[in-house]
Amino acid sequence: MEKQPLILDGNRVADRIKERLKTRIGRLAERGIVPCLATILVGDHPSSATYVKMKGNACRRLGMESTAVHLPQSTATEELIAKIRELNENPQVHGILLQHPVPPQIDERAAFDAIDIGKDVDGVTTLGFARNAFGFAHYPSCTPAAILAMLDDYRIPIEGRHAVVVGRSPILGKPVSAMLLNRNATVTVCHSRTTGLADLVRLADIVVAAVGKPKFVQGEWIKPGAVVMDAGYNEGNVGDVDYEACARNASAITPVPGGVGPVTIATLLKHTVEAAERAVSAD
């Protein structure tokens, strides 16, 4: 009989994170502070609208506030940055999330970098990226932080392991590589154009799939006993790995949905609560 891998349950990990937040939110409430996340959506991309709604609902369920800012598809970079600066200056807002992707006429990097570092709870600014690389970011990118939170929750060792990250985006592949390196893993960063990609993935004790392509990582690429962290989410509720095939070799694997996704949202809430706590202590 084939040995089944450990299914890394993101809903369970997320629930544990949120349960610990309740006490902290209660303490803030005693001081008249309600952690508030402002979400900005530019345009009418349906999946982005769904993600924003999910984040708002998650805030409300925990007793947090969520301010939704919806701007038209035609919004210019300068208009978006003006709105971000307005939120930066609002003391009632503790975290700012710009839902991406944004329409093509917008300079996304300029918009991200307009977010105050103290409110960059999604870890998207250049400064936040740099701090994360050095290992002292208050709010690392949420999906990379979620991946490490899951490994820690399931007590999967990171130190001394060889991690292969497939993907190099500035809010996922690159920051998770830095975070794993800071935890004493040996890290290889690959992407869709890497030569000999399958052979490199076969060396991994931990595989992080973050390439944004459905079922891209194949089962025969997975070394027996490797841990597979699928950070992808594609149309049809499929991740970046071929789940059934990869599960045959993996010792542990995240499902899609129900894996990294719920922990990413819980991490965003955690960062927002921490930002509110820091704002209180700075007063």
Annotated active-site residue in 55, 119, 174, 215: 55
Taking the C-alpha atoms of residue 7 and residue 30, their distance in angstroms, rounded to an integer, is 39
- The alpha carbon torsion through 101, 171, 107, 46 (nearest 10 deg) reads 10
4: annotated active-site residue: no
- Return the closest-CA partner of residue 210 out of 183, 187, 182, 244: 187
H-type alpha helices, the chain: 10-30, 46-61, 77-88, 108-113, 126-134, 142-153, 173-182, 197-201, 243-247, 260-282
Residue-by-residue DSSP string for 197-230: HHHHHTT-SEEEE-SSSTT-B-GGGSPTT-EEEE
CA-to-CA separations, 159 to 69, 107, 145, 163, 174, in angstroms, rounded: 41, 38, 16, 10, 18
Q: Which of 9, 99, 230, 270 is catalytic?
A: 99
Is 116 designated active site? no
Catalytic, 55? Answer yes
What is the rounded distance in angstroms from the CA atom of residue 163 to the CA atom of residue 173? 12
> 35 in helix, strand or coil?
coil
Distance between CA atoms of 128 and 192, rounded to whole angstroms?
26
**Catalytic residue among 113, 120, 122, 240, which?**
122
Tell me the C-alpha distance between 189 and 52, whole Å. Answer: 30
**CA neighbor of 126 nearest in space, from 80, 61, 171:** 171
In angstroms, how far apart are the furthest CA atoms of the chain?
61
Hey, which residues are catalytic here? 55, 99, 122
